[in-house]
Amino acid sequence: MKYTVDKKEQYVIFTPMEEKLDSSLSPVLKSELLTVLAEGYQNLILDMANVKYADSSGLSALLTGHREYSRSGGIFIISSAQDHVKKLVQISMLDKVLNIVDNLEEAAEAIFIHEIENGSAEEEEED
């Protein structure tokens, strides 16, 4: 699987350079997403701009990312999804579960808001 990883201070942008996210690539994607999490990055933006097709195993990889990053206290955001992928997510009713935004700017803003909300929640617990 071809992809790029852009590590920022608060998050990582993971960009698959593949047109299809199917059963041949989904296990690799899951593994790479978990590797980034294990490196200590709790917030990830999955830039889906190049992905034109996904199947149920692709959705499974997205759900795994969402679950594991949420479990760590971070946030998993899907950015720039193409029409086919958006429709599949909506048909599966996963648009109610997954964090999906239109572009990288909105994704970065969502992470910023998440960090502020988490920071204030942690401060309240300390009081």
Domain count, the chain: 1
The domain in which residue 85 lies consists of: 3-126
H/E stretch holding 12: strand 12-16
The Cα 110–Cα 21 span in angstroms is 24
Q: In the numeric block, which tokens belong to residue 71?
A: 């479990």
Residue 125, pLDDT score: 53
Q: Of 39, 50, 58, give the one whose Cα is nearest residue 98.
A: 58
Kindly state the tokens that stand for 60: 């499974």
Q: pLDDT per residue over 14-37, tens digit each?
A: 999 999 999 999 999 999 999 999
Q: Note the helical H segments in the chain.
A: 26-38, 56-71, 83-91, 104-126
38: its two tokens: 């294990």
> Inter-axis angle of helices 26-38 and 56-71, to 10 degrees?
10
CA 9 to CA 56: how far, in whole Å? 32
Q: What is this structure's pTM?
A: 0.92
- Please tell me the distance from the alpha carbon of residue 54 to that of residue 37, in angstroms, as a whole number: 23
Phi first, then psi: give them for residue 77, nearest 5 degrees: -120, 135
pLDDT tens-digit map of 58-101: 999 999 999 999 999 999 999 999 999 999 999 999 999 999 99
The domain that holds 27 is classified in CATH as 3.30.750.24
